[in-house]
Copies of this chain bind each other. A is one copy, B any other.
Amino acid sequence: MQPALRLHNFSAGPATLPEAVLLEIKEELPVYGDLGASVLEISHRSAAYTQIAQDARDRMRRLLGVGAEWHVLFLQGGASMQFHQAPLNFRKAEGSADYVVTGRWAANALKEAQRTGKARAAASSEDQNFSYLPDVAAWDIDPEAAYLHITSNNTVAGTQFRETPQVAPPLVCDASSDFLSRPIDMARHALVYAGAQKNIGPAGATAVLVRDDFLQRRNASLPVMLDYGVHAAKLYNTPPVFAVYVIGKVLAWLEGRGGLAAMDKINEGKAGALYARIDRTDFYRGVARKEARSRMNVTFRLPSEDLEGRFLAEANAQGLLGLKGHRSVGGMRASLYNACPEASVDALIAFMDDFERKRG
């Protein structure tokens, strides 16, 4: 039988995974090593899972160049749960937290924080549909804020902070859509979280990194499942075993590719090539301002919605999947996360050339 074909997957998340990782998973079904069962079936207290989780945490710390002062947790509920959990842990009863609103998800984070207490926007780019990043020097930061929350990469509009801002309050970062795609200046952060399903694994796990000195400042008497301290202290309840296993494999693959500095170069190359194609003629038009462009989510429009519809249909027919932009932005979005191969970007560029030639 002919093996089924893998196509070019530009999905914004859940997103493509390294084929080598998928083949390892396949190999380890229905039995993992000499365990007599698959990873889907083993106790989270077993020696095998304990090792899998420890390996994943160790690899994460190595990739980020941090030590035991950072707790590495694998939680559930995605970034959306973190929108509730972060203020619950770190904003005091009468305190406030600051948010930089640079996209749809950042806005959701602020909204959730406001649902249970005081939180404010220190800056926002909503006035131009989040197509730019507000200048850090102009942020209106509350020096008393429990923390300042940013979104390092904005999946919908396709913007990304070039570097981590240096601010007075502890920095909390939703890094869901660019986590481990480049080195992170962890010393500037207090808490970093990321839904796994874009750069580091499948849906169903959220990586949460919290610095111990910040963790110690959390509120008391929290619901046990929402208390970062409980999860930092021990394996409290059944974790998403299989998702952590896949994450571990992706982290090993990242180390094998040379770590975050190497990935940064690769990702810069992929996005650079695609933006160069967009900018080469006037047929395609980037959505985000150039200085704010994301290397993860490349958003662009065509001259008309009619052409955009044809572009999508033809791309899909040629095996270029997941290119439809978010409805709030329109047009196209090509997500080029870590596992998106250079060959997929090349194929997309060739298709764009061809489409323009025929319709331009």
Q: Could you tell me which A residues sit within 8 Å of B by CB distance?
A: 3-9, 11-17, 19, 22-23, 25-26, 29-31, 33-34, 36-38, 40-44, 46, 76-81, 83-84, 112, 115-116, 195, 197, 202-205, 221, 223-226, 236-243, 246, 319, 321-322
Contacts and interface: CB of A to CB of B under 8 A. Distances in A.
The 3 closest A-B pairs by CB, nearest first: A7-B36, A204-B240, A76-B76
15 contacts: A5-B31, A6-B30, A6-B31, A6-B37, A9-B41, A11-B41, A14-B44, A17-B38, A29-B29, A41-B202, A79-B237, A80-B224, A80-B225, A80-B236, A83-B224
By CB atoms of chain B within 10 A, which of A3, A42, A112, A116 has the most? A42
Contacts of A203: 44, 238-242
Nearest to A8: B36
Q: DSSP class of A's interface residues: helix, strand, loop or mixed?
A: loop
A14 B238 contact: yes
Given A224-B112, A240-B203, A37 B13 contact: no
Q: How many chain copies?
A: 2
B80 A77 contact: no
Nearest to A33: B4
B84 A223 contact: yes
A25 B246 CA distance: 15
Nearest to A88: B223
A225 B226 CA distance: 12
Contacts of A197: 238, 241
Contacts of A243: 204, 240, 242
Contacts of A22: 29-30, 38, 40
Contacts of A6: 30-31, 36-37
Nearest to A81: B225
